[in-house]
A and B are shown apart, each in its own frame.
Chain A
Amino acid sequence: MIELKDVSFTYESGETENSLKHINLTIHDGETTLFCGESGCGKTTLTRLINGLIPHYYAGKLDGKVLLDGKELKDYPLYQIGQRVGSVFQNPRTQFYNVDTTSEIVFGCENMGLPVSEMSKRLEETTKSLKIENLLNRSLFALSGGEKQKIACASADAICPNTFVLDEPSSNLDISSIKDLTEVIRQWQSENKTVIVAEHRLYYLAPYADRIIYMKRGEICNEYTREEFLELDPKELKKMGLRALNPFDLMPEKTPEANEKSLQIDNFWFSYEKRGYPIVNIPDLTLPQGEIIGIIGDNGAGKSSFARCLCGLDKSSKGTLKLNGNALNAKKRRHISYMVMQDVNHQLFTEDVLDELLLSMDGENEEEDKVRAQEILAGLDLSDKLKLHPMSLSGGEKQRVAIGSAVASGKEIIIFDEPTSGLDYRHMLEVSEKLIQLKEMKKTLFLITHDPELIYKCCTHLMFIEHGRILWHRSMDNEAVRLLQEFFSREKG
Chain B
Amino acid sequence: MEQLQAVVETRSGYRLDPRTKLFLMAVVATAEFLYSHTAFMVAVALIPFVLLLTNRQYKTAIIFFCLFSAGLFVQAIQNSIQFHMVVNMLVVLLVGLVLRLFPAFVMGAYIIKSTTASECITALGRMHIGRQITIPLSVLFRFIPTMQEESAAIKDAMRMREVQFGTKKFWQNPAALIEYRFIPLMISVVKIGDDLSAAALTRGLDNPVRRTNITKVGFTGWDLITVLIAGTALIITYFFSPW
Contact = CB atoms under 8 A, between A and B. Distances in A.
Q: Report A-B touching, CB under 8 Å.
A: yes
A359 interface: yes
Interface residues of B, number: 56
Instruction: Classify chain A's interface size.
Output: 35 or more
B154 interface: yes
Given A110-B214, A113-B210, A138-B7, A99 B145 contact: yes
B221 to A, nearest CB: 22
A95 B184 contact: no
Contacts of B168: 362-363
A107 B203 contact: yes
Interface in A348-383: 348-350, 359-360, 362-363
Contacts of A57: 197-198, 201
B207 A111 contact: yes
Contacts of B154: 346-347
Chief secondary structure at chain B's binding surface: helix
A97 B163 contact: no
Nearest to B150: A346
Nearest to B197: A57
A142 B139 CA distance: 18
Interface stretch (B28-36, B104-112, B185-193): B185-193
Q: Which of B116, B156, B169, B198 has the most CB of A within 10 A?
A: B198
B118 A100 contact: yes
B230 to A, nearest CB: 29
Interface in A88-144: 89, 91, 93-100, 102-103, 106-116, 119-120, 123, 137-142
A150 to B, nearest CB: 15
A345 interface: yes
Interface in B9-33: none
B129 to A, nearest CB: 16
Contacts of A139: 5-7
B89 interface: no
Contacts of B180: 349-350
Contact of B212 (A79, A114, A140): A114
Contacts of B202: 51-53, 78, 81-82, 85-87
B133 interface: no
B206 interface: yes
26 contacts: A78-B206, A79-B205, A79-B206, A93-B192, A97-B205, A99-B142, A100-B116, A100-B118, A102-B214, A111-B205, A116-B212, A119-B212, A141-B145, A141-B149, A152-B199, A334-B159, A341-B153, A346-B153, A346-B157, A346-B184, A348-B184, A349-B179, A362-B168, A363-B169, A409-B161, A409-B162
Interface of A: 51-53, 56-57, 77-79, 81-83, 85-87, 89, 91, 93-100, 102-103, 106-116, 119-120, 123, 137-142, 152, 155-156, 159, 308, 311, 313, 334-335, 337-339, 341, 343, 345-350, 359-360, 362-363, 391, 405, 409
6 nearest A-B pairs in the assembled complex, by CB-CB distance: A139-B6, A347-B157, A111-B204, A94-B195, A95-B199, A113-B209
Interface of B: 4-7, 116-118, 138-139, 141-142, 145-146, 149-150, 153-154, 156-163, 168-169, 172, 179-180, 183-184, 187-188, 191-192, 195-207, 209-215
